[in-house]
Each structure stands twice: as C-alpha cells, then as structure tokens.
Amino acid sequence: MTLLQIMADSDATDVRLRTADPEVIGAELKRRGIVFARWDAPAVLTASTSTDHLLAEYAERIGELNADGRYRHIDVARIHPDDDDPEWPAKAKGAREKFLAEHRHAEDEVRFFAGGRGCFYLHLNGEVLAVVCEGGDLVSVPAGTRHWFDMGARPDFVAVRFFEEEDGWVGDFTGDGIGEKFPTLDELLAAA
C-alpha cells in the first residue's frame, strides 16, 4: 500500500495527515515541490525478473522521464530476502543502515519502485513526510532536501535509480538523529 503520513518534525505523534489515496498523496507532495507519479505496471514482475527484462518493460516510461538526457546513469537497485543465505541478515542490516540517518544529495534522488517497498522521510518546513512507496511509484526528492530512507527489517524491493552524476547517490549526512524519533517503515505499515 502506498502511504503518506505527515507529522510535525518536532513530534512524531503529531500526525497531521495519513492517507493511502494516490491522488491526495500526489497533490500534497506536489504542493511541497516533490514529484510523485504512478506508472502502470506491465506484466507481472517478480523477484526473479531480470534487470534487463525490467528495464525493457519500462523503456518507454524511462525514455519519457529522461527525454532531455539529464540522467546519464540509470541502474537498478534490488534486494530480496534469501533465507537460505546465512549472510542475509547481516546484508539486510547493512543495506538498511546505509541511508537510515538524515542526509542530503547534491542532485535529485529519483527512484521508481518496480516492486517491493521502501519509505522516504522528507524533512522540510517543520514537517516530516513519510512516503511509503510500492511497486508502480516514482518519487523524486529534490537536491538538498533533508531526508532518510527505511527499507524495513526485511528489505524487499526493486527500484530503478536515475543519476545525473555517477556518484549522485553519495549522501551528505546532517548528523541529526531525527530519524530515530520517527516510526520505521514496519511501524508505519503496522499502524491501523
């Protein structure tokens, strides 16, 4: 379920809006300068769908988004649970912790979730907007926006990433522990 929960940045229990309506989510994010879009899913994609197949399925949409050639590096990030791999819990923990603290990027952080889910927390103008993205969701976090990302205790997603520069994913960490004060992806989903 795609979800938006808006909270006061000083108090996570001050929930100002919680909605799963894609139109409301798009409108609320647009008002704050955040791009959010839904791309229709093509044929069923699963954890075993290859990266090449995935990019081919979305080639037209990706081409439209990158009509001006702004994104010179487009790749696919994916992580899926593998309970047969004894290293999986450590890999999952490491992946999750990478962007769990508040940071910014020098360029827009553009992600299209082809499957699975992850949550962006956007910190701007006294609010924290938790945006739970699922398959079909495209989100663009503007350059310089304070944010963090939670993929949950059991990370499972496939996302197309769009970069202007090869190192566009590098984060400038603010050192603010704000992320620890807000509900995790799993807690957001568990809340009624």
**Distance of closest approach, residue 171 Cβ to Fe ion, in angstroms:** 5
**Distance of closest approach, residue 172 Cβ to Fe ion, in angstroms:** 10
| DSSP characters over 57-78 | HTHHHHHHHTTT----EEEEEE
Dist. CA 18–CA 15, nearest whole Å: 7
Q: Do the annotations mark residue 147 as ligand-binding?
A: yes
Q: Do the annotations mark residue 80 as ligand-binding?
A: no
**Distance of closest approach, residue 169 Cβ to Fe ion, in angstroms:** 7
Which of residues 58 and 148 has its CB atom nearest to Fe ion in the complex? 148
Which of residues 28 and 108 has its CB atom nearest to Fe ion in the complex? 108
Contact track, Fe ion, 99-118, x by CB under 5 A = ----------x---------
Which of residues 60 and 167 has its CB atom nearest to Fe ion in the complex? 167
Q: Do the annotations mark residue 107 as ligand-binding?
A: no
Contact track, Fe ion, 61-100, x by CB under 5 A = ----------------------------------------
**Distance of closest approach, residue 144 Cβ to Fe ion, in angstroms:** 11
Q: Do the annotations mark residue 105 as ligand-binding?
A: yes
Which of residues 19 and 104 has its CB atom nearest to Fe ion in the complex? 104
| DSSP characters over 3-26 | EEEEEETTEEEEEEEEE--HHHHH
Size of the site for Fe ion (CB under 5 A): 1
| DSSP characters over the chain | --EEEEEETTEEEEEEEEE--HHHHHHHHHHTT-EEEE----S---TTS-HHHHHHHTHHHHHHHTTT----EEEEEEE---TT-TTHHHHHHHHHHTT-S-EE-SS-EEEEEEEEEEEEEEEETTEEEEEEEETTEEEEEPTT-EEEEE--SS-EEEEEEEESSTTTT--EE---GGGGGS--HHHHHH--
Contact positions vs Fe ion (CB under 5 A): 109
Binding site: residue ranges? Answer: 103, 105, 109, 147
Binding site for Ni(2+): residue ranges? Answer: 103, 105, 109, 147
Binding site for Fe(2+): residue ranges? Answer: 103, 105, 109, 147
